[in-house]
């Protein structure tokens, strides 16, 4: 069989869809089509799909909850995996192993109900835990590095690898999984060490975190938090953007939030294009650099191809 025939057979087995609009699968609701789109329900299927793509010689992109990601208007070639693997089990005293498609907010609440503390800060994060791993996702002074013990990944060659947390080089909104020595590794599950806690106290803290997010983060389609906070300035990225007078700035359907300046909203879903969001990100960077002398660094992932001309 040719590689094309292998791919066709494997995609049929995985119930893949052709030419799937990726705007349906991101929080910001923009993005072109995927050549092949596969929804994965467990880590075993995730491993099988990664190996299938490798065997067929096609590129592979894994999409979690679709937060903090911008897919260009030309879409994504090859195979896109929508990771819905959400299994979780306790594997020791206060220790859990969770599949990489599990949502932060759901996991925070479920572990709190079970009397395990340590993930309350994650209640306001809308994404999947595997998607947040490369950027060491965090909030309110805590992040994944505080609780991560190890991670199981599948390498670009299709091999299963278990890595201790300290091998990932986790740091503020970055790691070796994001363009470093482990780029291309896909997390299948994470082992977290939590601590015994009081369920009522943890749930009360989760309610507080969720209230803070509702008060400070805009609702509706958006790219979420766009830029990392700078390390050489006491001001946050949002404060710098606001100081540059950029709240409400709009290009096409992309608009800097009036509530929180480090969010870019989709205010016209029917006409939205990724190119507008990219242009607005660049304008914000340029204006903040002129105003404050600081080059803001995006924390969102930008993937896919530009739309064809004509």
Decide if 232 contacts 153 (C-beta within 8 A). Answer: no
Q: Choose the catalytic residue: 43, 67, 85, 225.
A: 225
If you search the block for the tokens 């494997």, which residue do you land on? 10
C-beta separation of 228 from 299 below 8 A: yes
Q: How many CB atoms lie within 10 A of CB 281?
A: 22
Polymer length in residues for the chain: 310
Determine which one of 173, 175, 189, 205 is catalytic: 173
> Is 225 among the residues known to form the active site?
yes
Closest residue by Cα to residue 302 from 146, 68, 110: 68
State how far the Cα of 307 lies from the Cα of 241, in Å rounded to an integer.
Answer: 29
β-sheet bridge partners, residue 60: 79
Q: How far apart are the first and last CA of the chain?
A: 36
The question of whether 232 is a catalytic residue gets the answer no
Q: Is 173 annotated as catalytic?
A: yes
User: What are the Cα distances from residue 85, in Å, to 67, 164, 179, 190, 272?
Assistant: 16, 21, 24, 12, 30
All residues at 6 or more sequence positions from 177 whose CB lies less than 8 Å from its CB, including other chains = 133, 134, 168, 183, 185, 187
Catalytic residues: 173, 225, 299
């Amino acid at each position: 069989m040719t590689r094309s025939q292998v791919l066709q057979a494997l995609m049929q087995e995985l119930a893949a869809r052709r030419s799937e609009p990726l705007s349906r699968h991101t929080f910001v609701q923009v993005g072109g089509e995927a050549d092949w789109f596969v929804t994965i329900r467990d880590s075993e299927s995730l491993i099988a799909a990664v190996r299938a793509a490798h065997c067929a010689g096609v590129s592979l992109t894994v999409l979690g909850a679709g937060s903090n990601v911008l897919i260009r208007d030309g879409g994504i070639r090859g195979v896109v995996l929508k990771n819905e693997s959400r299994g979780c089990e306790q594997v020791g005293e206060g220790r859990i192993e969770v599949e990489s498609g599990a949502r932060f907010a759901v996991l925070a609440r479920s572990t709190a109900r079970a009397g395990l503390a340590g993930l309350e800060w994650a209640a306001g994060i809308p994404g999947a835990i595997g998607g947040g791993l490369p950027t060491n996702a965090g909030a309110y002074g805590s992040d994944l590095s505080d609780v991560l013990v190890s991670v199981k990944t599948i390498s670009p060659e299709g091999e299963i690898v278990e890595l201790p947390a300290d091998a990932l080089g986790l740091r503020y909104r970055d790691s070796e999984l994001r363009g470093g020595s482990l780029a291309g590794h896909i997390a299948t599950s994470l082992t977290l060490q939590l601590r015994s806690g009081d369920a009522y106290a943890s749930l009360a803290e989760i309610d507080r975190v969720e209230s803070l997010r509702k008060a400070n983060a805009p609702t509706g389609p958006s790219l979420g938090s766009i830029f990392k906070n700078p390390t050489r300035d006491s001001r946050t990225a949002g404060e710098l953007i606001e100081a540059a007078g950029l709240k409400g700035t709009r290009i096409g359907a992309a608009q800097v939030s009036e509530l929180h300046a480090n969010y870019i909203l989709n205010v016209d879903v029917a006409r939205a294009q990724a190119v507008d969001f990219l242009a607005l990100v660049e304008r914000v960077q340029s204006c903040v650099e002129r105003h404050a002398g600081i080059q803001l660094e995006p924390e969102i992932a930008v993937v896919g191809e530009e739309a064809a001309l004509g």
